[in-house]
Amino acid sequence: MHHKITPSSTVRRLSSQNRQILKEMVTDENGPGTVLRDFETLLRFIGPAGTKVGSKAGFLPAEALPKLNAELVHPLQIGVERPQQKSYPNINCLYLLLRASGMSHVAKQGKDNLLFLNERVMQSWRNLNPTERFFTLLESWLLRGKPEILGERPWGILGPAIKWATLFSNIPDQGLEVSGNKSAEHTITYSLGLSGVAMLNLFGLINVESAAPEQGKGWLIARIQRTDFGDALLQLLYEPLTYWEDYGAYEKNALSPSFGLLQPLLQPLFPEWQKNLTVPEPGFRDGVYVFKVSIGRIWRRIAAPGRLDMDSLSRIVLDSFDFDYDHLYSFTFKSRFGTDVSVNHPGTEDDPPLADTTLIGELEFRPGLEIEFLYDFGDMWKFRIQLEEIRPADPKMAKAVIIESRGQAPEQYDRWDEDE
């Protein structure tokens, strides 16, 4: 069950001026902002065949970034010789929207990791009108855009709505001069950061004037100006979104396929918003899952049926290294949305999903996926688990088996501890 965001008194508290601004806003490919046109550019860049991405984080290839940047409506000028994806905050934002929306996934193909478009989700996207697309992407940022998708640390108690409001509170009506203003640079860094500023700019919530690039430096900002649309939308959304952050609904929705959670609030002002993006619920995939489990250069290869629960997988991993079962653990991996997911020991009842009620085949594992198995929160044993392949299901296979071993398992406990 999801928390509902309902109009209640929020729209009534919206000033008449801001209500009129929102009602008169025309949402199409030309605005607000450039997000719809730039997002389509990213979709064309990936294409039906997908594109090669980095092996660990799944980020776009460095050699393609300047070309993609040049094709956007407002390309960024930077002075970095060897740019990474984060060097282009506009591309970083579009990537976040792509992953958080569920329109893409990363999968292994041979030795390469590729970023693919999910064709079923793309069919739903193509059936949306511009208003519906705009607010799908806005929800992808505000309700689903967890910072770990971009390899950044979690926000803690402050979510994007509070950071958005913090930045706006520091931008006077006449605009904020940033170049040479250490206070303004500090405000940007500790509110939304450059990616957040780029996101607001993409959605037409602010206007950004770029400064001339400098050698060795990334995107430089000369000036930021709030837009009337940005002020009005923030007044409408701030209270409901901070409610979501306070009650943890934001965290839960980041793994959910559901869209349209802001629709009850915004539809009275944007009646064109009728349909929502449809992302399929995760389904069970049977088969024989072949995992390679490593500690350093010591490894075991394990085959497990998809019908096996994750607690049973933990036991065969521990058995293969001659460890006992006396401690808590967690499995952590990247979901299809690019977010971190943890499946936890049954003893942590207040922190679902739990391993004894979660089947391997329910988790949408793809070949090439890497999982961290953290065992014993005191000694912090970290096992690296990689899914190598999914073989056809074997009805006769009822439990996991160790099919190959290399190297002698380490001692679980120091001999000094045993003497003690």
Contact in structure between 62 and 82 (CB atoms under 8 Å): yes
213 and 292 share one domain: no
Same domain? For 251 and 296 the reply is no
Answer yes or no: are the C-beta atoms of 95 and 139 closer than 8 Å. Answer: no
Q: Where among 234, 266, 298 does a domain terminate? A: 266
Summarize pLDDT for 228-286 with one digit per residue, the tens: 999 999 999 988 887 666 555 555 555 566 899 899 999 999 999 999 999 988 789 99
Q: Which residues pair with 115 in a beta bridge?
A: 51, 106
Do 72 and 218 belong together in one domain? yes
Q: Does residue 212 sit in the same domain as residue 292? A: no
DSSP 123: H
Do 261 and 293 lie in one domain? The reply is no
Residues 129 and 74 in one domain: yes
Q: Are residues 244 and 307 in the same domain?
A: no
In a domain, residue 273? The reply is: no
Whether 109 is in a domain gets the answer yes
Residue 241 belongs to some domain of the structure: yes
3-state SS, residue 222: strand
Q: Round to whole Å and give the CA distance between 249 and 234.
A: 19
- Tell me, yes or no, whether 323 lies in a domain: yes
- Asked whether residue 240 falls in the same domain as residue 297, the answer is no
Domain hosting residue 103, numbered range: 10-266
Contact criterion met (CB below 8 Å) for 268 and 11: yes
Cβ-contact 282, 364 below 8 angstroms: yes
Backbone phi and psi for residue 230, each to the nearest 5 degrees, phi listed first: -65, -45
Tell me, yes or no, whether 147 and 231 share the same domain: yes
CB 327 within 8 A of CB 315: no
Q: How far apart are CA 345 and CA 275, in angstroms?
A: 39
pLDDT at site 419: 47
Q: Across-strand partners of 74?
A: none
Q: pLDDT for 180-213, tens place per residue?
A: 889 988 888 878 889 999 999 999 999 999 999 9
Domain count, the chain: 2
In this prediction, the residues of the chain whose per-residue pLDDT falls under 70 are 1-12, 55-56, 154-158, 243-257, 415-420
Pairwise CA distance, residues 236 & 27, whole Å? 17
Structure tokens at 108: 């292994």
Count of CB atoms situated within 10 Å of the CB of 147: 17
In a domain, 277, yes or no: no
Q: Tell me what pLDDT residue 5 has.
A: 52
> What does the pLDDT read at residue 255?
55
Which amino acid would we find at residue 256? S
Q: CB neighbours of 144 closer than 8 A, spacing ≥ 6?
A: 100, 101, 253, 254, 256, 337
Same domain, 88 and 214: yes
- CB distance 285 to 400 below 8 Å: no
Query: Does residue 353 lie within any of the structural domains?
Result: yes
Output the CA–CA distances (angstroms, integers) from residue 355 to 271, 347, 402, in the order listed. 44, 9, 20
Q: Which residues pair with 176 in a beta bridge?
A: 224
**What CATH number has the domain bearing residue 307?**
3.10.290.30
Decide if 388 is inside a domain. yes
Distance of CA 283 to the CA centre of its chain: 20
The beta strand positions in 110-201, using DSSP E, are 112-117, 176-177
From 266, 300, 316, give the residue that closes a domain: 266
Is 1 a member of any domain? no
Residues 298 and 262 in one domain: no
Of how many residues is the chain composed?
A: 420
Instruction: Judge if 293 and 144 occupy the same domain.
Output: no
